[in-house]
Amino acid sequence: MVVGDFPIETETIVIGAGPGGYVAAIRAAQLGQKVTIVEKANLGGVCLNIGCIPSKALINAGHRYETAKHSDDIGISAENVTVDFSKVQEWKGSVVNKLTSGVEGLLKGNKVNIVKGEAYFVDANTLRVMDEKSAQTYTFKNAIIATGSRPIEIPTFKYSKRVIDSTGALNLPEIPKKLVIIGGGVIGVELGSAYANFGTEVTILEGSAELFAGAFEKQMTSIVSKNLKKKGAEIVTNAMAKGVVENEDGVVVTYEAKGEEKTVEADYVLVTVGRRPNTDEMGLEQVGIEMTERGLIKIDKQCRTNVSNIYAIGDIVAGPALAHKASYEGKIAAEAIAGHPSEIDYLGLPAVVFSEPELATVGYTEKQAKEEGIDVVAAKFPFAANGRALALNSTDGFLKLITRKEDGLVIGGQIAGPSASDMIAEIGLAIEAGMTAEDIAMTIHAHPTLGEITMEAAEVALGTPIHIIK
């Protein structure tokens, strides 16, 4: 211990101020705990700074540009539609700044002590927090680890000026003429769609047989694939990226598909093949915290590690790397520390892709239910039969409601269509509340809205559809 480094005491210390950490800190403070939160970079974590929020801002900007250029079919045309990409980036930054400053205000408003620096465990009740100039020791009763994840780097595609990760793709100084994306998962498809809307020639190289590696039903992903191809994107599945040659003006990517080796030129190559948990170099071995082979921290139903006063949440524990999962787990951990009987239950956990059209799923799919021996009704209703979707000129897609055959209990739902990300919440609520198809069908939905599609699907499940022929 350095001279003058007197330990500072706190009840609960949270490591990481992303959507998991800052939510955990606020909830712990609300429950009467003295809380300190430690963050080495910016408040809001990856999600607010270089992930969810800036990507959605970029997606929105691209969509507006594409709509301005291509609305002839509804009688609207514009000449010389231009993009000032530096202004787009400036606006995106302003959105991020509003939210990150908002997080700081929320933490301070809940009397959470904010500390900048890197945290390192000394033992099960002690942390060292270091920055470039100093180090400070903190003692605590309970700790919540919420350090998130970082992009995986492929050895043959080392990050550089032209070989970029998602952060680099969000901060490009110009719209690339050509972009190769390695990995057709959520991040690859979302950023690929955004740049395709700006006019970029996009090539997606996906290692599996379809986009999202089978995480969504083929009926859903095929609609996204079709729309990407309409925008001029090329999607190569079962493709293996082999290497890259970089020059001053761009890259040449070599890949293998159908037994042939091919090359594609681009301004940049974006690598989005997954994320790695940030569990290294923080002294977890000092405390004896149990990990999986992938570097994930093992937890129980209350997000508690094998060390009883240390909890872990978000991307560093098992399950999908989703901001809303991290926030949910953060509340559970804070409540568990306060002695509440809260436990994690992921059945109502939605997953969303901000593609075109949007995709969303929650609870069981038809296939998952059948694999578990649950007899279900899969009730489907198309966006094309909905007045609001027709008025929006966005009729691609469908909603599928999964109900238990014996009693109509809602156990899942999948949506491919406009505003799927917003609509999925109603099905999630139905699952959490133990509602049936009849409950949804009997709920009066405003007309004309996309929300009516959920009601219509519930009526299909009951065998009494109004707006499609049975």
Write down the pLDDT at residue 3: 44
Write down the pLDDT at residue 265: 97
The residue behind tokens 């959920």 is 454
Q: Which two three-digit tokens encode residue 268? A: 């940049």
| Low-confidence residues of the chain: pLDDT under 70 | 1-5
Residue type (1 letter), 333: A
d(CA 161, CA 159) in angstroms, rounded, equals 7
Grouping H, G, I as helix, E, B as strand and the rest as coil, residue 429 is helix
d(CA 419, CA 245) in angstroms, rounded, equals 40
This prediction has a pTM of 0.95
Write down the pLDDT at residue 1: 43
Whole-number Cα distances in Å, 134 to 4, 110, 342, 445: 11, 27, 38, 58
DSSP string spanning 263-327? EEEESEEEE-S-EEES-SSS-HHHHT--B-TTSPBP--TTSB-SSTTEEE-GGGSSS---HHHHH
Q: Note the pLDDT tens digit of each residue in 270-292.
A: 999 999 999 999 999 999 999 99
Known binding residue 439? Answer is no
Known binding residue 149? Answer is yes
Known binding residue 188? Answer is yes
Known binding residue 147? Answer is yes
CB-CB contact of 102 with 92 (8 Å): no
φ, ψ dihedrals at 228, nearest 5°: -65, -45
Q: Which two three-digit tokens encode residue 422? A: 């917003």
Sign of CA pseudo-dihedral 421, 422, 424, 429: positive
Write down the pLDDT at residue 214: 85
- The catalytic residues are 447
Exposed/middle/buried for 330, CB within 10 Å: 0-12, 13-18, 19+? buried
- Give the end-to-end CA distance of the chain in Å, rounded to a whole number: 75
The CATH homologous superfamily for domain 8-151+276-346 is: FAD/NAD(P)-binding domain (3.50.50.60)
Known binding residue 259? Answer is no
Known binding residue 356? Answer is no
Domain at 163-273, CATH from 3.90.190.20, 3.40.50.720, 1.20.140.10, 3.50.50.60: 3.50.50.60
Write down the pLDDT at residue 132: 86
Known binding residue 315? Answer is yes
Cis peptide before 357 (omega within 30 of 0): yes
Find out if CATH 3.30.390.30 is the number for domain 357-462.
yes
- The boundaries of every CATH 3.50.50.60 domain in the chain are 8-151+276-346, 163-273
Whole-number Cα distances in Å, 298 to 36, 183, 292, 356: 23, 27, 7, 36
Kind and range of the H or E element at 222? helix 218-230
Beta-carbon neighbour count of residue 447 at 10 Å?
11
